[in-house]
């Protein structure tokens, strides 16, 4: 009886095992290379998305900066107009005060002259002089109150214009794009 040669099938089995192991290693390397390529592609896509988001944020920031700069400019214009109107009103207040003082002096002079002329008939003329002085004081006070009221109303109108301008400017800043 001849004994079969066991070395040959064993070598074949070892060779097949080695080929299978090499094939498996090659497949795994290919899978790993594919996974690395997918990961690199995913990283590149994320980098593009991050860049796009950063650019959108930059554009939005530039828009907001422009809006804030325009808001500040308009606000300054409103304040400057308000201050100009306040100065005008203050100048008018001084003019009104000077006019008031002039009228008061004029009425007092008239009353004094009336009193001097009434010296001939003291009883009757004194009543006229007293009434003249009272009327002069009332007229001066009335004019003073009227002018003061006008200035108060114009001052309030000026404040309302400033506040309306501020609100309009703030609404423009906060309006959606």
DSSP the chain: -PPP-SHHHHHHHHHHHHHHHHHHHHHHHHHHHHHHHHHHHHHHHHHHHHHHHHHHHHHHHHHHHHHHHHHHHHHHHHHHHHHHHHHHHHHHHHHHHHHHHHHHHHHHHHHHHHHHHTTSSHHHHHHHHHHHHHHHHHHHHHHHHHHHHHHHHHHHHHHHHHHHHHHHHHHHHHS--
Would you state the pLDDT for residue 3? Answer: 53
Distance CA 173, CA 53 (A): 23
Interval 164-176: pLDDT, tens? 888 888 888 777 7
Would you state the pLDDT for residue 55? Answer: 94
Interval 106-137: pLDDT, tens? 877 876 776 666 666 666 566 676 777 777 78
Would you state the pLDDT for residue 63? Answer: 87
Q: Is the pLDDT of residue 5 over 70?
A: no
**78 compared with 125, residue with greater pLDDT:** 78
Distance CA 87, CA 70 (A): 26
Residues ≥6 apart with Cβ < 8 Å to 158:
82, 85, 86, 89
**Worst-scoring range by mean pLDDT, 88-92, 100-104, 123-127?**
123-127
Q: Where are the domains of the chain?
A: 27-174
CB atoms within 10 A of CB 2: 4
Would you state the pLDDT for residue 124? Answer: 58
Confidence of residue 58 (pLDDT cuts 50, 70, 90): very high
Distance CA 15, CA 10 (A): 8
Cβ(173)–Cβ(82) below 8 Å: no
**5 compared with 31, residue with greater pLDDT:** 31
Confidence of residue 53 (pLDDT cuts 50, 70, 90): very high
Would you state the pLDDT for residue 26? Answer: 85
């Amino acid at each position: 009886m001849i004994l079969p040669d066991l070395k040959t099938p064993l070598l074949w089995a070892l060779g097949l095992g080695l080929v299978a192991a090499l094939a498996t290693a090659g497949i795994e390397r290919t899978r790993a290379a594919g996974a690395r390529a997918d990961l690199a592609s995913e990283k590149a896509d994320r980098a593009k998305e991050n860049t796009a988001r950063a650019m959108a944020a930059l554009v939005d920031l530039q828009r907001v900066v422009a809006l804030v700069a325009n808001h500040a400019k308009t606000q300054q214009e409103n304040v400057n107009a308000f201050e100009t109107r306040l100065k005008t009103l203050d100048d008018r207040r001084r003019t009104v005060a000077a006019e008031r003082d002039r009228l008061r002096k004029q009425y007092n002079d008239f009353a004094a002259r009336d009193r001097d002329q009434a010296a001939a008939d003291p009883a009757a003329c004194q009543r006229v002089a007293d009434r003249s002085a009272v009327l002069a004081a009332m007229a001066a006070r009335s004019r003073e109150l009227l002018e003061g009221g006008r200035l108060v109303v114009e001052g309030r109108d000026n404040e309302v214009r400033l506040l309306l301008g501020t609100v309009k400017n703030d609404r423009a800043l906060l309006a959606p794009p």
